[in-house]
Structure 1
Amino acid sequence: MNSPVEGSAEAEAVLSKPRFHLDLWLLFTVQNWILDVGRPVVMLVLPVDFFPVNRPGAVEYLHILCLNAAQDSATPAVRLGIICVVMGTSLHLVADSVTRRLVLIGYQLHLSVRENPVMQELKPASLVDAFELLFYYDDTLGHVMWCVPLFLVLFLFFSGSFSHRNRKQEEKMAPAAWMLLVPNAAYYWYLITERQTFILFIFTFFAMTATVMHQRRRGLVPDSNGLFMLCRYSFSAALVLVAFWVSCLWSDGVLRKKHPGLIYVPQPRAVYTLHLQQNGTT
């Protein structure tokens, strides 16, 4: 028969044992795939004339649901992050809505604004500057304001996902986490490629790696949630997917002009309009 001291020690060990937050990660994955990744899928599935062109369509309403998904909080830092996300999403909503209408009249997403035949026919030519501003709000400012708080929240959550060193815990991930590995890593790939957030992602990845090195000196290792996010799992798998994506499109001259600079990560929608849509039309 166990003594009260042994019983309390066993109970404390069970309570202090870190668990994988399946409910949290499942909600995160499902919400992102439906409200975020689901938007371009809805745009492709629904007919063009399902909604009037001069009114919001199904994609816009799905985008509005994404805006309302954030819950209010009493913490000022969290409120500031929510405001930043809502503003970035709003900018993206407006710019993306206009972009969809431009695509209907021949705008090609794999070309820059000034190289598009539709833009070259505009009169006066100074209107192109207004559209360049619109795409800056969409592809640069809106995406950054949307994703910076997201990656910051992921990093803060990861910073709290450590426990005392345990060999079995350090080498193994919770079985439930394996179910969400592929959709979660694929969503990070979508964030990096479609929203052009490779710099944000890689800085977050380096910050997580530095946190692991720092915590190991204190005798702490990532728990199941930390392992799911970092080294051998979601973030690393997303990095492998991005590397494979870039290598497949490395020699594409058209996309190189669309994404100039040292960091070359083609957007999936640009690849779609350049290769898949044109081949389908042909």
Structure 2
Amino acid sequence: MFIDICRRKADFHIDLWCCFTIQNRLLDFGRPVAMILCPVDWFPLSKPSAGDYLHLLYNITTTFLLLKLIERSLKTFPRSAVYLCIITFVMGVSIHLVGDSINHRLLLSGYQLHLSVRENPIMKNLKPETLINFFELLQYYDKSLGPCMWYVPLFIILFLYFTGCFTFVKDERQMSTSAWLLLGPSGLYLMYLVTEGQILVPFIFTFFAMTATVMHQKRKGFLPDGNGLFLLYSFSVSLMLVILCVSCLWNDKVLRKKYPDVMYIPKPWVLYSVHATPER
């Protein structure tokens, strides 16, 4: 069955990967930029901001593109597993939408992301004090539960798709020019996901699983096609960028206080809060 799958023609999905690249840059990577640049008067704190609308569009377009990606795969996957991943993904990004929206408003009010909830100056005089527990719950949803439900199913879907990207046809075991052009933006966005979502562990597990799959299929005479190579190289570029980012910020004392553990991966938003906000 696997041999029959690999005999089918596997073209590089330039349309899907281009859509992924554009929407990731505009709707997710560009979301915090829109929050910063758009005047507060345009979007009152009691209404959704420009970033919130971009996040809503991201939730819709990414889900659609992931479904199309699975449809394009030369391998058939259990529908229940795919549906479960998609449903969990939608729940995760929706939780993150609410938490991220409130966090942005806290940031405009003087909240400092590099400090814990109880250490923040704007929380010192909050009455009654039990309200602080509510904000800690919000941070848990936004920083832990939401990203976990967002990124884990995302990586599972990408890995499932990757398992169907193998061929024994020599001409298909190479990347096209368009794939090389998209490699940089794709790797940069994955690096943003790893740092902002604090998801190094699932990212590494996915990367190792992809590498192990390549080694396993290579023994059978199969190698990744253009789509598989694009995914594998994107993860590789992302990992190198994460290592470079951590190396450059290794001796930052303020960030070290925020991330005292061995897993020292500063978030871009926290970096902005420390070094770019007027409060600093």
**Structure 1 length as normaliser, TM-score?**
0.87
Name 1:252's counterpart in structure 2. Answer: 252
Write the letter of the residue equivalent to 1:269.
Answer: W
In the alignment, structure 1 residue 106 sits paired with structure 2 residue 110: yes
1: CA distance, partners of 2:261 / 2:166: 38
2: CA distance, partners of 1:104 / 1:165: 55
Name 2:71's counterpart in structure 1. Answer: none
8 A Cα contact 1:158 1:229, kept in partner: yes
In the alignment, structure 1 residue 63 sits paired with structure 2 residue 67: no
Q: How does 1:1-282 map to 2 (within 5 A)?
A: 16-69=8-61, 70-71=63-64, 75-164=79-168, 166=170, 170=173, 172-230=174-232, 233-278=233-278
How far does residue 36 in structure 1 lie from its aligned partner after superposition? 1.3
> SS of 1:190's equivalent?
helix
> SS of 1:49's equivalent?
helix
Write the letter of the residue equivalent to 2:216.
Answer: H
How far does residue 151 in structure 1 lie from its aligned partner after superposition? 0.6
1: CA distance, partners of 2:59 / 2:227: 26
Q: How many residues in Structure 1 have an aligned counterpart in Structure 2?
A: 262
How far does residue 67 in structure 1 lie from its aligned partner after superposition? 2.4
2: CA distance, partners of 1:135 / 1:245: 24
Q: CA RMSD in A?
A: 2.0
8 A Cα contact 2:85 2:156, kept in partner: no
Write the letter of the residue equivalent to 1:163.
Answer: T
How far does residue 17 in structure 1 lie from its aligned partner after superposition? 4.6
2: CA distance, partners of 1:43 / 1:114: 25
2: CA distance, partners of 1:178 / 1:277: 36
1: CA distance, partners of 2:95 / 2:260: 23
How far does residue 77 in structure 1 lie from its aligned partner after superposition? 2.6
8 A Cα contact 1:193 1:266, kept in partner: yes
How far does residue 47 in structure 1 lie from its aligned partner after superposition? 0.6
Name 2:74's counterpart in structure 1. Answer: none
1: CA distance, partners of 2:164 / 2:144: 30
8 A Cα contact 1:165 1:219, kept in partner: no
8 A Cα contact 1:42 1:59, kept in partner: yes
How far does residue 112 in structure 1 lie from its aligned partner after superposition? 1.6
1: CA distance, partners of 2:113 / 2:274: 8
Deviations 1:115-159, CA, capped at 9 Å, x for gaps: 111112222333222111101100111011011111111111111
Write the letter of the residue equivalent to 2:275.
Answer: H
Distance 1:192 1:58, change over 3 A: same
Q: Which runs of 5 or more residues in structure 2 are unaligned? A: 1-6, 68-77
8 A Cα contact 1:84 1:145, kept in partner: yes
8 A Cα contact 2:246 2:264, kept in partner: yes
Q: Which runs of 5 or more residues in structure 1 are unaligned? A: 1-14
Write the letter of the residue equivalent to 1:236.
Answer: S
Please say which structure displays the higher CA radius of gyration: 1
2: CA distance, partners of 1:132 / 1:46: 28
2: CA distance, partners of 1:20 / 1:67: 25
Deviations 1:55-79, CA, capped at 9 Å, x for gaps: 1122112212222222497933332
